Each structure stands twice: as structure tokens, then as C-alpha cells.
Structure 1
């Protein structure tokens, strides 16, 4: 009689990870993340800087289209003397050329832009994505009462190489007599005024919008002439403080206030360096419409020559 033998099924032994092995895997993953994260952040910032460059190029193009239409550039400020700080800036005038005609139509240029609810329309309080550098995520309005609040943007125009009064009798900063930029208070320049050459003359650059800002401060109020400009007296992202009629209380990060207030109310005495959150420099549009990345280390003489439209100086490398 045959007896069937039972079939033995071999079971493979399953073995889990030991605690030491898990810790090693976690450590390896942590090292990889630490190595990759800076590269990812750099790639993201490079993309943001490229978008910022493209937006600035569109603003420069709008300036040229404005010039083609009116045979002159927008004014650095216009109207409402003697209260120049409440004048309309270049930004309000180029609105139709950046596809914001409806916003432009709300503006009554016979009234100053501040001082009453609704005055200046959306041009005073509206945040436009095209005017916001994605590297600066503040995106705020000023503190204070509604009649004086303004939206804060990032793109400002060059008022020359000393202060906002560059090209006027009140242009001296620390004994340095400044020269006019492509934008000056209450006047309109023409591209032909850039006798130093369009590719050697600044048009637009960047500013950081403060994380805290009192009313009437002088940085990033792109629609109000008092905060719509920069000068080249200080190099980009300068360690030296800006000087303005009213100070921003905090630029964010390690920058702090970066501002020294004037004792008077003359907005034209503002000395504002272009600033950005891009590592190592700022984007800047030249009067020929090109956009360059200007390093913080640029020679100060070269930088000041770039801010002047007709100082007759030969530029160094930049």
C-alpha cells in the first residue's frame, strides 16, 4: 500500500528593516534633500528673475510706445504744485500702453492723487501683477487712513544720479552736483535728450516694497511721483541708507529700515537706491528698451554715469 507523503511547503522568512537601517535611510534622504533644496530654490529664483525681466521689458516697451504716440516720454511727475509729493507719476500715464485703459479713464489729472477716497481711482490702490516682481512677495498697501493709502509696486524710473531734483538747482547731495535722468519732476524728456546714448542711459529699475510702511513714505508708491523713482547716487542694494522725506520702517529680512529721514518735506531731496531680492543685483531697463542685470558691485562712477542722460562721460564696463 502506497502512502502519500505530505508535501512540505517551504516558507521564506520575511525580515524587516532594523532600526539602524531605517536611520541610515532617513539620514541619506536628509542629505539628498539638503543637497537638492538649494538647487531647487535657485531654479525657482531664476524663473522669478526671468519673469521680472520680462515685465520690465514690457514697461520699457510701453515707454517707447508712449514716446511714439506723443513724441516724448511720460513726466517724472505732473501737476499739483507745490505738493509735488502728490503728483501723478509716469505709471499713471502709461496705463493705456499696458492694457489698463479702464484704470486710466478713472483718473482726473486736475486733482492730486491723494487726499480723498476714490481720488486717483484704481491707479492709486490697485495692485497690478505686471508691476509686481515675483521675487518680492510683500504685495501690500500702505498703512494709514484710506484717503492716503497707496498700493506698493516694484518698478520705478530713474530720476538722475543724485536725488529726485537731479538736473535742477537743488540737485546737490554731499557736495555732488547731479545730472538729470530720463525722468525729472514736472517735465517730459525726449529720447533724443539721451545724448550719452540710449544704451548708456537708465530708464527703469526695481525697488523693494517694505513690509511695514507709514503713509507718504517714499518707496514703491509707483503711482505717486514721490515714491516712483530711484537715483544712482547709491549703488544697487547699497549698504548705506536711503534718504527720504519719510522713511520705510522695515524692508524685511536683515535689511531693517535702511532709511534716514530728512528734516524737511521736500520729496525732491529723496536719494533712493534700486533694491531687489535677487541675489547680487537688480534688473534695469535701459533707454533703448533692453534689460540688463546690474550687479551690486558695479563701479559707483559707472553707475552714476548710467543714471545721467547727458553728462558726456564715457562709461566703463558694466
Structure 2
């Protein structure tokens, strides 16, 4: 009798993951995501800040092109009404120099920008991408009736080192007497007026647009003189509140409410800090056309010296 030489058939057994193993893998993936997410967010913010820098450089270049054409910068405001808050700002004047000629041709500088649906054209109500920093995603139109509503942007010009009246006799804030910036109400400066040096004088910086708007806010209304500027009395991203004749409700995020309302309607008494959502500071264009990132820890005296165009003060390192 022959022995049975048939070998047993071995069957492979496919074994799946146990529930515990799946949970471990999911936990590891979660840890990796938690570790990578801040790096990804930082990379995205770095890209947004770079785009913001480039846009500000284009605005500074537009100011220089305007100056080359007319031998002066745009006015800090033009068309002062009894309060001046609805006057034209620098914004309308530079539109042809930022490839917005069609928008510019709608403008009539003999009228105020606000008060009538037909005044200001698209320049008053349209959000213009080149005027919006991508780090600030709250840009909106004001909550107001149509004839007073404005689109809110981020890039504002320097009115000096105390308040918007820095170039006039009414320029004292908390006992501090200010000096004019490159933009003042109802006047046009020339680059030669920056006797402190173009590389020592601020031209443009940023402002945060509020997440909630009272009617006729003074923040980010770049088209209107009342909301088109900042001063260097307060350091960038200051903890102290801005002081405006019309207060914003909320700057959003950790900023919260940052406004004290004046008892009067003098928009020239506005004290508005440069603000941004960039970590640690703001972008700022100097009168020589260069753009720098300025730390929010900059010495306040240095920052104020940068705001004045002819204060004769030496600007320290920053």
C-alpha cells in the first residue's frame, strides 16, 4: 500500500486591521496634521504678506507717477464741506496710475464723493482688489444708505505724527504738538517737502477694515478723506484705542473694539494707528517708494519721526 503523499493545502488567511490599530493610525495622522498645520498657515500668511507688500509698492509707485506728471502729490483731501468728512482723498486721483482709468473718468471732483448716489461712481462703492490686503478678509461695504455707502479698503496715507490736522494749527494730541506728514487736508505736498529725507518719511501703510460697521465709519474709507489716513501718534497695532469722529464697532478677532468717539464732528482730530493682521507689525511704504515691514514694537519716538516730513529729527534704527 502506497503511503499517502498528498500535502495539505495551505490557505492564506488575510488579516485586516484591528480597531485598535486603526485608532492608532488615525491618532498618528491627527498628530502629524497638528504639527504641519501651523507651518502651512505660516507659509500661506507669508505669501499673503508678500502680495500685500507688492500691492503697496504699486500704490507708492502710482504716487510717484502722479508726482512726475503734476509735480506734486495728490491732496490729503479736496472739496472740503463744512466738516470735510466727505471730501475726496488721494484715492480718486491715483486711479489712472493703477490701471483704473475708466473708473477715474466717472469722477467729478467739483462734487463731494458722498451724499448722492451719482457722486463718486464706481470708485465709491466697488471693492478694488489692488487696494485690499489678502490678510484682511473682512473688506465690505459700509452699512449705510446707498448715497453714503463706501467700500472699505486697507491702504491709507500718512497725515502726520499726531492727528489728521498735523499740518494745521489744530494738531495737538494729549499735549503733543504734531508735524505734517506727506498728506494734509486741502493741500498738496511735493516730494521736496520731505526735508527729513524720502527714506525717513512715511507715505502709505495699512488699516484693518472692521467686521461690523456703524454708518459713516472712519476706518478704511480710502476714497473719503475722513477714512483715508493714519497717523504715527500710536505705534502699529497699538493697544490704545483709535480716536475718530465716527467709531467702528469691531475690528474682529482678538482686536475687538478699538475706538473712542470724539464729542464733535472734527474728522481732522482723528488719531488712527496703522494696523494689520500680519503677525508682529505692518507694511509701510516710504516716500522713496520702498516698502518695509515695521515691527509693532518700534520705539514710539522713531515711529513719530517717520510720520513727520520735516520735523528735523533723526530717525533711529527700526
Shorter chain as denominator, the TM-score bin is: over 0.9
Matches for 1:145-184 after TM superposition, within 5 Å: 145-184=145-184
What residue number does 1:70 align with? 70
Q: Partners in 2 of 1:58 and 1:254 — Cα distance?
A: 30
Query: What is the CA deviation profile of residues 195-242 of structure 1, one whole-angstrom value per residue up to 9, with x for unaligned ones?
Result: 000000000000000011112211100000100000000000000000
8 Å contact 1:78–1:185 — kept in the other structure? Answer: yes
**Partner of residue 196, structure 2:** 196
CA deviation digits over 1:219-272, x for unaligned, max 9? 100000100000000000000000000100011112111000000000000000
The SS at the match of 2:24 is helix
Runs (4+) of structure 1 exceeding 4 A deviation are: 1-8
Alignment RMSD (CA, Å): 1.4
Instruction: Give TM-score, length-normalised by structure 1.
Output: 0.97
Aligned-pair CA distance for 1:85: 0.6
* Alpha-carbon displacement from aligned partner over 1:43-97 (angstroms, at most 9, x marks no partner): 0000000000000000000000000000000000001332311110001000000
Aligned length: 318
- The match for 1:316 is 316
Give the CA deviation at 1:4: 9.8
Matched, 1:216 2:216: yes
Structure 1 segment 1-318 matched on structure 2, within 5 A: 8-318=8-318
Q: What TM-score do you get using the length of structure 2 for normalisation?
A: 0.97
In structure 1, stretches of 5+ residues that fail to align are none
Is the Cα contact below 8 Å between 2:167 and 2:185 reproduced in 1?
no
CA–CA separation in structure 1 for the residues paired with 2:81 and 2:149: 20
Cα offset for 1:8? 4.5
SS at structure 1 position matched to 2:203: strand
Corresponding residue SS for 1:188: coil
Counterparts of 2:117 and 2:128, CA distance in 1: 19
Question: In structure 2, what is the Cα distance between the partners aligned to 1:80 and 1:275?
Answer: 27
Mapped contact 1:162–1:232 kept (Cα < 8 A):
yes
Task: Give CA-to-partner distance per residue, 1:157-210, whole Å, 9 cap, x none.
Answer: 000000000021000000000000000000000000000000000000000000
The Cα shift of 1:5 comes to: 6.7
